[in-house]
Chain A
């Protein structure tokens, strides 16, 4: 029941056919070009997703009405090899600056045009045992709300009103 009981990190990796500098640039400055816009915690619909490319820079969701939601803050910045972000999202997937799980992304050149990218999302235990386990499950497996959105769409497109 201890708050500090470690929770297993989520580890993901991908190998991209691109030089390390390019891969790092796309991941960071180019975030909005690839980040799935349904993966958001702020106001929908999302217009763009920015990562301020510097130490202390924020991951910002900009919604179409102009409102900004901060998702994460960069706490380690070593281009083009590594960035670490503190992930300020709680177990309900709401922005929360007191949350401190971390996303550690490392880039390794395996050739002039091949980069291995390893992402570790960890320190879930800092959120408390239950909340940490819940967020861990979500980032490892699923994104909350998607099934609900699917269900909503299914209901919306249904010819007969449910009651």
Chain B
């Protein structure tokens, strides 16, 4: 379940910041780490977690590793977060099945 991972992984505030930086465009680890209050190895660990959850991807450029947002990962998350008519009908069912005060007190 990719989306489950994505939610868990993004629950960490530092990791969200790392992810947010990548939303602006692909970056090397150093550039991502610059300005963050955590060490470069820690940023690498966060990137690893984001990658495992399918939220980012990496490619090599010489000795550097460039990270970028993986759009499909976000789409999975979005699908999970909401589904328009499915959610609506589910909510409708719950309301329609509530016992009504005037009709049936006991069944």
Contact = CB atoms under 8 A, between A and B. Distances in A.
Interface of A: 10, 12-18, 22-23, 26-27, 30, 33-36, 39, 115, 117, 119, 121, 138-143, 146-147, 150-151, 154-155, 157-160, 162-163
Interface residues of B, number: 32
Contact of A12 (B74, B81, B86): B86
Contact of A34 (B13, B16, B95): B95
Label chain A's interface by main secondary structure: mixed
Interface of B: 10, 13, 16-17, 20-21, 35-37, 74, 77-79, 81-97, 100, 103
A140 B84 contact: yes
Nearest to B80: A142
A121 B89 CA distance: 13
28 contacts: A10-B85, A12-B85, A12-B89, A13-B89, A14-B90, A15-B93, A16-B97, A22-B96, A22-B100, A26-B92, A26-B95, A30-B95, A34-B92, A34-B94, A35-B91, A39-B87, A39-B88, A117-B89, A121-B85, A141-B79, A142-B81, A143-B83, A151-B20, A154-B16, A155-B20, A159-B13, A160-B37, A162-B17
A119 B89 contact: yes
Nearest to B13: A158
Contacts of B16: 154-155, 158
